[in-house]
């Protein structure tokens, strides 16, 4: 028995050491890189635009609300090298194509695609509008997959590029009352893992961001009030989350978490002991206002 435990220990430590020491792509310089950011009209997208611009990247701001994009462009203008405003609906194929074509026409290259646009909102699954479920899957999953499909040939040609998929902790540890959202983010996580493995022999990298709660328009003040009853969750600012994700990109990681150690622990537990996570959610849904929270997330 002792020998068995010792072998497990050695294998475990060996595995973590190997993961820790295995080479990543060299530290990346963002200066003059061309970055497309979808969902740049709202807080997390805006924060990405600001952090990339401060590090010298050329940013392409994409979302539907042009007035908001122009406001973001004005705000980052003092330190942005170059900004392109692209009012597009990423669920429309022609508009996705226009986004890529116009970026290539303006800057001649695409280095980084940040698939950030997203929609959320929750309820009992059978009480959600089917059109809303479809819209969630279109924005959170189908559009990122097809935008990636459009930029990859260009990245392959240059043998260089970065795809950043903004997912959610709910994509790795699905929660009740957000089934459609969890499905979209879990799909994005699986897509990121698969593509990363497909691209092993290239210099194209994929990063999946399994994010916890962020103070943005998605999390209305009302919803944040309810969330305060869940001490196991933290709410971070968009700015700090953008910094965490971009730092992970620069360091060549393939997955990044935001949130506290309990939220990280939940993701790990989901992998190794999903029944324990089931008990946890049984408790939460019975005694805590998770359903109320899901209805207040927009
Ligand atoms: N907030 C959180 O607690 C949280 C937690 C984990 C993960 N996330 C993820 O973080 C990302 C950003 O979310 P957020 O919190 O910043 O949400 P948000 O404030 O609601 O912003 C969503 C963004 O997506 C854009 N968008 C939505 N539909 C679009 C479409 N059809 N075409 C183009 N753009 C579209 C919106 O722009 P327009 O309306 O102008 O088109 C907006 O800029 C999402 O992927 C979300 O799932 C958020």
Render pLDDT for 259-296 as a digit per residue (tens, 0 to 9). Answer: 899 999 999 999 999 999 999 999 999 999 999 999 99
pLDDT in tens, 92-109: 999 999 999 999 999 999
DSSP state of 126: G
The pLDDT score that the predictor gives to residue 284 is 95
Residue 6 has pLDDT above 90, yes or no: no
Residue 24 has pLDDT above 80, yes or no: no
> In the structure, what pLDDT confidence band is assigned to residue 14 with cuts at 50, 70 and 90?
confident
The pLDDT score that the predictor gives to residue 189 is 98
Mean pLDDT of all residues in 237-250: 96
SS3 label, residue 174? coil
The pLDDT score that the predictor gives to residue 27 is 66
For ligand 1, say whether the CB of 195 is within 6 Å of any of its atoms.
no
Choose among 46, 169, 123: nearest CA to 297. 123
Residue identifier of the C-alpha nearest atom 43 of ligand 1: 39
Read off φ and ψ for residue 242, nearest 5 degrees: -60, -40
Residues 100 and 147 sit within 8 Å (Cβ to Cβ): yes
Mean pLDDT of all residues in 131-149: 98
**Ligand 1, from 38, 40, 63: best to mutate by most atoms within 8 Å of Cβ?**
63
Cα→Cα distances 199→25, 99, 164, 270, Å: 13, 24, 14, 27
Residue 7 has pLDDT above 70, yes or no: yes
The pLDDT score that the predictor gives to residue 112 is 98
The pLDDT score that the predictor gives to residue 129 is 96
> In the structure, what pLDDT confidence band is assigned to residue 23 with cuts at 50, 70 and 90?
low
pLDDT in tens, 51-84: 999 999 999 999 999 999 999 999 999 988 899 9
For ligand 1, say whether the CB of 139 is within 6 Å of any of its atoms.
yes
What are residue 214's DSSP bridge partners?
236
CA of 39 to the centre of ligand 1 (A): 5
Q: What is the mean pLDDT of the chain?
A: 94
User: What are the structural domains, with CATH classification, of the chain?
Assistant: 27-296 (3.40.50.720)
pLDDT in tens, 176-199: 999 999 999 999 999 999 999 999
The pLDDT score that the predictor gives to residue 12 is 84
pTM of the model: 0.94
> In the structure, what pLDDT confidence band is assigned to residue 11 with cuts at 50, 70 and 90?
confident
Q: Could you give the CA distance from residue 153 to residue 159 in angstroms, rounded to a whole number?
A: 9
Residue 162 has pLDDT above 70, yes or no: yes
The pLDDT score that the predictor gives to residue 230 is 93
For ligand 1, say whether the CB of 39 is within 6 Å of any of its atoms.
yes
């Amino acid at each position: 028995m002792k020998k068995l435990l010792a072998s497990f220990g050695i294998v475990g430590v060996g595995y973590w050491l190997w993961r820790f020491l295995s080479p990543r792509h060299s530290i990346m310089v963002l200066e003059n890189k061309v970055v497309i950011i979808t969902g740049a009209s709202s807080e997390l997208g805006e924060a990405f635009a600001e952090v990339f611009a401060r590090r010298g990247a050329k940013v392409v701001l994409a979302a539907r609300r042009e007035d908001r994009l122009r406001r973001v462009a004005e705000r980052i203008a003092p330190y942005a090298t170059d900004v392109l405003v692209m009012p597009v609906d990423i669920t429309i194929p022609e508009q996705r194509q226009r986004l890529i074509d116009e970026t290539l026409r303006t800057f001649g290259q695409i280095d980084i695609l940040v698939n950030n646009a997203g929609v959320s909102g929750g309820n009992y699954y059978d009480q959600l509008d089917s059109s809303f479920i479809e819209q969630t899957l279109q924005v959170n999953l189908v559009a990122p997959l097809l935008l990636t499909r459009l930029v990859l040939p260009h990245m392959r040609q240059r043998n260089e590029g970065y795809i950043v998929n903004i997912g959610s902790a709910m994509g790795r540890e699905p929660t009740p009352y957000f089934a459609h959202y969890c499905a979209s983010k879990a799909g994005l996580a699986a897509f990121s893992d698969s593509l990363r493995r497909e691209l092993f022999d290239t210099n194209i990298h994929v990063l999946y961001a399994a994010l916890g709660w962020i103070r943005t328009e998605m999390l209305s003040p009302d919803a944040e009030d309810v969330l305060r009853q869940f001490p196991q969750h933290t709410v971070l600012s968009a700015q700090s989350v953008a910094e965490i994700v971009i730092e992970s990109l620069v360091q060549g990681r393939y997955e990044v978490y935001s949130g506290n150690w309990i939220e990280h622990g939940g993701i790990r537990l989901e992998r190794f002991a999903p029944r324990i996570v089931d008990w946890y959610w049984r408790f939460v849904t019975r005694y805590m206002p998770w359903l109320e929270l899901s209805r207040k997330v927009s």
